């Protein structure tokens, strides 16, 4: 069994920069992280061990510490103002590409567009994108697309949406709303596109895929969904301990990729576990007794 790694995978610069900013903070016990810094259980446990206070951003209660770290997923300006009004000092690690999507949404609203966001309705990034909008809809499934009464529709995407999915939604919106002036702003981030492109190349070479990342990570789930759409079985694991040897029996080539919040050491651990499984598979095959093919053929004919 061969193991092939995607040419582009794993942690993006937005996540890396957010983690680096958190690492430099000298008094973590005095800082609340407003939501999940990244959708990665290993990272979250590490932050908890360092003493950071982890706060669910969906709760109305204010963080209890004076300093509040805004995650790479960002928050709405309305939420920023609420925290600032309460005297909180904000440490902002919002990904610049998420910030760009916020700017696009606000500009569409100022220009009189009803904003349509293609993405996961309850995802922290989408809640941030829509938190300052008076007129919007979030389109999570294609069945959410419908005819709308608005004359101007502005479409953008959660940054971890796939290009194919976004184009499908845009086409469906246009088909059902011929009366509307439609403006499309593609806010999918480049790291997401790069990882999807690398995955597409890999899918032509493998029998099965392993996708590494937190189970809450939207872009990791999208990678797994892409595999299944292309007819390649895929297993989404958070770490090496979730791998099962039975998944790879009779498989000659396994592909490996990872979401944008996955640590390099986690990817390497999964890769090394797959290599060990491959070696064990070879040893087992070498020890198997040679079958009498002529006898087998005769039996099958009977």
Residues β-bridged to residue 5 = 256
> Among 45, 57, 122, 125, which one carries the catalytic annotation?
125
Q: CA-to-CA distance for 187 and 155, rounded, in angstroms?
A: 9
Is residue 63 exposed (0-12), middle (13-18) or buried (19+ Cβ within 10 Å)? Answer: buried
Q: CA-to-CA distance for 80 and 59, rounded, in angstroms?
A: 14
Is 125 in the active site? yes
Provide the Cα torsion 72, 77, 82, 86; round to 10°: 70
DSSP 262-278: --HHHHHHHHHHHHHHH
Q: CA-to-CA distance for 225 and 234, rounded, in angstroms?
A: 8
Give me the phi and psi of 297, to 5 degrees please: -65, -40
Provide the Cα torsion 122, 125, 131, 134; round to 10°: -80
- Residue 57, number of CB atoms within 10 A of its CB: 17
* Active site residues per annotation: 125
């Amino acid at each position: 069994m061969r193991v092939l790694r995607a040419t582009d995978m794993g942690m993006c610069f937005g996540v890396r920069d957010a983690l680096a900013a958190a690492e430099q903070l000298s008094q973590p016990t005095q800082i609340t992280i407003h939501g999940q810094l990244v959708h990665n259980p290993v990272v979250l446990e590490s932050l908890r061990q360092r003493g950071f206070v982890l706060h669910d951003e969906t709760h109305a209660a204010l963080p209890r510490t004076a300093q509040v770290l805004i995650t790479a997923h960002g928050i709405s300006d309305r939420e920023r103002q609420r925290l600032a009004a309460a005297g909180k000092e904000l440490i902002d690690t919002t990904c610049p590409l998420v910030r760009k999507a916020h700017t696009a949404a606000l500009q569409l609203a100022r220009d009189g567009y009803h904003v349509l966001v293609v993405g996961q309705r309850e995802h922290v990034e989408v809640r941030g994108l829509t938190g300052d909008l008076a007129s919007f809809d979030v389109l999570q499934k294609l069945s959410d697309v419908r005819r709308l009464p608005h004359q101007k529709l502005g479409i953008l995407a959660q940054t971890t949406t796939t290009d194919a999915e976004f184009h499908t939604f845009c086409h469906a919106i246009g088909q059902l709303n011929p009366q509307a002036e439609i403006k499309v702003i593609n806010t999918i981030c480049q790291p997401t596109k790069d990882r999807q492109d690398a995955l597409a190349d890999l899918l032509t070479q493998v029998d099965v895929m392993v996708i590494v990342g937190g189970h809450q990570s939207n872009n990791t789930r999208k990678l797994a969904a892409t595999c299944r759409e292309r007819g390649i079985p895929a297993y989404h694991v958070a770490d090496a301990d979730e791998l099962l040897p039975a998944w790879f029996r009779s498989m000659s080539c396994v592909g490996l990729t990872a979401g944008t919040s996955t640590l390099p050491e986690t990817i390497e651990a999964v890769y090394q576990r797959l290599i060990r499984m491959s070696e064990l598979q070879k040893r087992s095959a070498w020890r198997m007794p040679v079958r009498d093919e002529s006898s087998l053929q005769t039996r099958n004919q009977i």
